[in-house]
Amino acid sequence: MNTTCRIILGSASPRRQQLLKGTDLPFTVEPVNVPETITLPSGANPEGSPYLQGANPLEIPLLLARTKSMAFPRPLKADELLITADTLVFSEVLAEAHTGAEEQSETGVQTGREAQSGTGVQTGREAQSGTGVQTAASGTDTRWRVLGKPASAREAYRMLEQLSGSCHKVITGICLRFGDQRTHPGPIVFSDTSLVWFMPLLPEEIRYYVNKYKPYDKAGSYGVQEWIGYIGIERIEGSYFNVMGFPVHLLWKYLKKLHVISFS
């Protein structure tokens, strides 16, 4: 197997390094140092926490992966390919639909291709851990509460309490940026989504996991490959590795499509 580019993984995550290593692709690691926080423009929903009116949860990890790529501390050489990624956990909350153009315009959120361009994005741990991302549905609003990395044991406990006995969504955004601007003039972004079902967790099970495994570096306060995944997850729809934080099957697909990998 050969590669047409020198691959750089812009991530300090040991899980992403482990998963990329499993593909047998040669790569080096050059972590991108960006704040693990996002400040999202917000309004007030009925629960009093912020939300994004009309935003698509899918866009947020894409935007963050691209932001990490653009924060790479040096220019890429012509034969280099930078890979960055971001994973977020979303729990779903249904409520009565909000109406009124004034309310919808208060958040100032960019969506679609404009949002994917990645300009002017900031994140905040407060927002990642408690933000509801609201999208319109017929007759109801689906507010996607974003669960990022917990700032404390208490916050980790609350996140797992919220995920207990329910289904949540895990989305990983990946950004590929080539040093050769003539062949690939702009970043290429894509994402993968998995649905995860937790069995009801006892309070003492949650406390045991948080105290022993200290999941403060994990979106949603859990690692699927750890103890809580063994005893608490009853079903996954989609890629297991995406839930770990890196859908390597999808990365491989894009690298083949972009002729980065060859077996000749």
Known catalytic residues are 86
243 CB-contact burial (10 Å; exposed 0-12 / middle 13-18 / buried 19+): buried
DSSP percent split of the chain into helix, strand, coil, nearest 5: 30, 30, 40
Helices (H) and strands (E) in the chain, counts: 10, 12
> CB-based burial of residue 3 (10 Å sphere; 0-12 exposed, 13-18 middle, 19+ buried)?
middle
Q: For strands 80-96 and 188-198, give the pairing.
A: unpaired
- Whole-number Å distance between alpha carbons of 46 and 3: 52
78 φ/ψ angles, rounded to the nearest 5 degrees: -60, -30
Residue 132: beta bridge partners? Answer: 51, 145
